[in-house]
Structure 1
Amino acid sequence: MRIETLPEEFIKAQPIIDTIEAAGYEAYYVGGSVRDTLLGLPIHDVDIATSAYPEEVKSLFKRTVDTGIEHGTVMILDHGTGYETTTFRTESGYQDYRRPDSVKFVRSLKEDLNRRDFTINALALKTDGTIIDYFDGLSDLKAHRIRAVGDPEKRFNEDALRMMRAVRFASQLNFTIDPETITGIKHHGSLLTKIAVERIHVEFVKMLLGQWPAMGLDVFMDTGLYQYCPDFKPYKDQLEQLRLQLKSGLSSETAVWTILCAVFGLSSKQVNRLLKDWKSANQLIDDVQVAVKAVKAISEHSVDAWLLYQTGSELLPIANEVANQLGESPYATATLLAQYDELQIHSKKALAITGQDLMSAGIKPGPQLGQALNYLERQVVEGQLKNQNNMLLSAAIKYLNEKA
């Protein structure tokens, strides 16, 4: 097969391959960029595989970075763009079920492609548009099928993360997974526990961001992969429910974890525990806790000014998106944002009075100062008080006198 017109990204990278070939070596575009070109999808990174050894590659270019030279990968910098160029290699020994214990550089493209995960990712492209396909990946692309290169049992034993990549590709591409590959996942699911949670996290989130998340979730559940992910085992029924409810991919990582925590019915403390176990960033944890609370209010038709204020303009669309995925939100996102915009203030800093103002009026520093500011903040948000200094000062004094 030959592609008549190559995407611009490949044309820009052609001088790299031309230079390598001029020195007597082979070089090809490989990986996801080739697959996505054939599917008519946008290209991201352009990766190159070559018969030249790393030191030979480095000798041909002025600017290179050793991004993974022990595994044969050199980054070639060309006009502000970096091209990862990897020597053909074979691998052996995977004691950690993720990385090879040893790598051997070879001069054979076929040997190199033989170590790839799936046939649709084991295609090579020449600069003249010719596709090299040793493992029938073109047929699998046409059939919308994900199939392991060679023996799936061996492929997943080498790198257990490939099982999560399979379900992620199913979701992103709307592909089915070959039966033998499914069987391999079922046999090796427990090996996920050997993989760093951060890596599983990335693949799982990408799966739910895919346009057809149910395609991935079906395999994730049917093969039992879910039970080897942090804290998911007790929530089998909820995950089953989610795969029936998801209409489309989610918009962001925050939306992914918000919908999971909402479906699981987690408290704020439980949200914190789950996301900590998934090695999530603190900001993500904070955002999800807020968004989950908003989803509950939206689904119960109980959105008020204080909830709008606490949720904020960035998280309101996410909360409403999740509520729509789980049912049908009674609110339009534009309406929620318009109501939020109408609030007198959008942060405590916007109050027309400060702690210094209260102390100047004779209120002593201490807990009561913070209590008064909290009271004023809520009264202003809920429209009970105008955000005016003199009015807020009078209200604060009255509030503290009544508490005394």
Structure 2
Amino acid sequence: MIDHPFFRQALPVIARLEEAGFEAFFVGGAVRDLFLGRPVHDVDIATSAVPAEVKAVFRNTVDVGIDHGTILVLHDGIGFEVTTFRTESEYTDFRRPDEVRFVRSLYEDLKRRDFTMNAMAMNKNGEWIDPFGGKEDIQTRKIRTVGRAGERFSEDALRMMRAARFVSQLSFRLDDDTKEAMTEHAPLLGHIAVERKLNEMDKLFSGYDKRQAVAVLIETGLYQFLPGLDGQKPALTRLAGLPIEGLTADQVWTAAAYLCAEEDPVPFLTQWRLPQKRIKSISRSVRTLIQFLAKGVTDWQLFQGGLQSSVDAAAAGYALTGGKELDAGSAASRFESLPIKSRHDLAITGNDLIQWASKSRGPWIKEVLERTERAVIARDVPNERTEIERWLHACNLL
């Protein structure tokens, strides 16, 4: 019996398919993670029923990927992806199959998958179907392809990045044939869309064993075919040697952008086609990091960086410097203790300055506001309107 809530919720779907005369099994990452004891957030079902037959069995369905055999079955308000057993033809573009063919054989379906740990299935009674030794590879923490590694990577070159990503997420290691094939077929990554590479890199940077995963990118030469990383072996080697295990993905991006493009991180990040909001955020973190490394973590630098950028810069800086003077926790605590967190918190505005000085608008307003911010941050004057006006007069700034 399967003792897991997500699998139990899906059992009626499998039972209905079997009652209609079809085979149905749990497959994919959920089966792997159940065996590993990792959190399972959703389950996938594979069946011998073709899409039209799946739709005939269930009243409520959605065609989420019918061309590739996937139907979303809605049962008790929960959606379950049900995909027909299939095989795939040639991958002439190294990204997607030229043709998908539906079959009635679970073995044929599992044979087309990437790694042995992802090519296992489980029936409704909790019995495992493991024709390619996935359980043994999981027990030995090995990443091994189903069949010949070169063929799997020629079908979809992104699988090489997935292998590196699993090193980070699962703390597994590549088997020798898989690693050799990745080294040989690394140039095929040039056929892969940047957006797909970014998705894998984000997952790699979010795992725990990211140092070893970055080392895999270097050892196999995959890095040469990733945006902005060709020629960056020294920077990546340094990144792989840093204590980055506890950093978030954006904090690792901050460290990577600093190492690969310290002067201006924007072009580097743009090559990865990150959303503009993330480019702006990470670039700000890199600039804050540069200030931290040059001048130390001052209250003024924290104020200019803002909370998130200061925390990310401090975390990246902690890794880069071996913990000297930089710490994300203390940066957050110090930021929260600042008298003001942004210019919007300042008790005066440019209109107040115009009124007090009886002068027209001009660049002087920005200069005086910044002087005032610095004074408030330094606790030289309270953030109170009357006190600031008195201080401005005393300093001959009006």
**Which TM-score applies when normalising by structure 2?**
0.93
Aligned match of 2:268: 274
Q: Secondary structure at the match of 1:245?
A: coil
Superposition map of 1:130-209 within 5 A:
130-209=127-206
Superposition map of 1:230-241 within 5 A:
230-241=227-238
Aligned match of 1:213: 210
Aligned match of 1:68: 65
Aligned-partner Cα distance in 1 for 2:337–2:244:
32
Write the deviation string for residues 39-78 of structure 1: whole angstroms up to 9, x where unpaired. 1111122111111111111122222221111101111122
Are 1:385 and 2:381 counterparts? yes
Aligned-partner Cα distance in 2 for 1:96–1:378:
57
Aligned match of 2:332: 337
Q: For residue 174 of structure 2, what is the amino acid of its counterpart?
A: I
Are 1:363 and 2:359 counterparts? yes
Aligned-partner Cα distance in 1 for 2:193–2:362:
46
Superposition map of 1:30-109 within 5 A:
30-109=27-106
Question: Where does the alignment leave 5 or more consecutive residues of structure 1 unmatched?
Answer: none
Alpha carbons 1:65, 1:75 under 8 Å: kept: yes
CA change 1:47–1:212 in 2 (3 A) is: same
Superposition map of 1:200-349 within 5 A:
200-246=197-243, 248-251=245-248, 253-264=249-260, 266-267=262-263, 270-299=264-293, 302-326=296-320, 327-349=322-344
Question: Where does the alignment leave 5 or more consecutive residues of structure 2 unmatched?
Answer: none
Q: Tell me by how many angstroms 1:396 deviates.
A: 5.2
Q: For residue 387 of structure 1, what is the amino acid of its counterpart?
A: N
Aligned match of 1:124: 121
Aligned-partner Cα distance in 2 for 1:378–1:65:
58
Q: Tell me by how many angstroms 1:401 deviates.
A: 6.0
Q: Secondary structure at the match of 1:104?
A: strand
Q: Secondary structure at the match of 1:233?
A: coil
Query: After alignment, is 27-36 or 238-247 more displaced?
Result: 238-247
Q: Tell me by how many angstroms 1:234 deviates.
A: 2.2
Q: Secondary structure at the match of 1:74?
A: strand
Q: For residue 71 of structure 2, what is the amino acid of its counterpart?
A: V
Q: Tell me by how many angstroms 1:291 deviates.
A: 1.9
Q: For residue 359 of structure 2, what is the amino acid of its counterpart?
A: I
Q: For residue 375 of structure 1, what is the amino acid of its counterpart?
A: R
Q: For residue 165 of structure 1, what is the amino acid of its counterpart?
A: R
Q: Secondary structure at the match of 1:90?
A: strand
Alpha carbons 2:292, 2:301 under 8 Å: kept: no
Write the deviation string for residues 254-290 of structure 1: whole angstroms up to 9, x where unpaired. 11211102233512xx200011000012221222222
Query: After alignment, is 199-208 or 376-385 more displaced?
Result: 376-385
CA change 1:85–1:399 in 2 (3 A) is: farther
Alpha carbons 1:313, 1:337 under 8 Å: kept: yes
CA change 1:88–1:30 in 2 (3 A) is: same
Query: After alignment, is 146-155 or 370-379 more displaced?
Result: 370-379
CA change 1:335–1:243 in 2 (3 A) is: closer
Alpha carbons 1:27, 1:48 under 8 Å: kept: yes
Are 1:8 and 2:8 counterparts? no
Q: Secondary structure at the match of 2:231?
A: helix
Aligned-partner Cα distance in 2 for 1:114–1:359:
75
Q: Secondary structure at the match of 2:306?
A: helix
Q: For residue 208 of structure 2, what is the amino acid of its counterpart?
A: Q
Alpha carbons 2:261, 2:268 under 8 Å: kept: no
Q: Tell me by how many angstroms 1:9 deviates.
A: 1.0
Alpha carbons 1:368, 1:400 under 8 Å: kept: no
Alpha carbons 2:2, 2:124 under 8 Å: kept: no
Aligned-partner Cα distance in 2 for 1:304–1:277:
32
CA change 1:134–1:82 in 2 (3 A) is: same
Q: Tell me by how many angstroms 1:28 deviates.
A: 0.6
Write the deviation string for residues 302-334 of structure 1: whole angstroms up to 9, x where unpaired. 111111112223333322222222211324444
Q: Secondary structure at the match of 1:192?
A: helix
Sequence identity percentage: 40
Q: Secondary structure at the match of 2:364?
A: helix
Aligned match of 2:107: 110
Q: Secondary structure at the match of 2:56?
A: helix
Query: After alignment, is 312-321 or 78-87 more displaced?
Result: 312-321
CA change 1:242–1:289 in 2 (3 A) is: same
Aligned-partner Cα distance in 1 for 2:106–2:196:
28
**Which TM-score applies when normalising by structure 1?**
0.92
Aligned-partner Cα distance in 2 for 1:314–1:9:
35
Aligned-partner Cα distance in 2 for 1:96–1:398:
72
Aligned-partner Cα distance in 2 for 1:132–1:372:
72
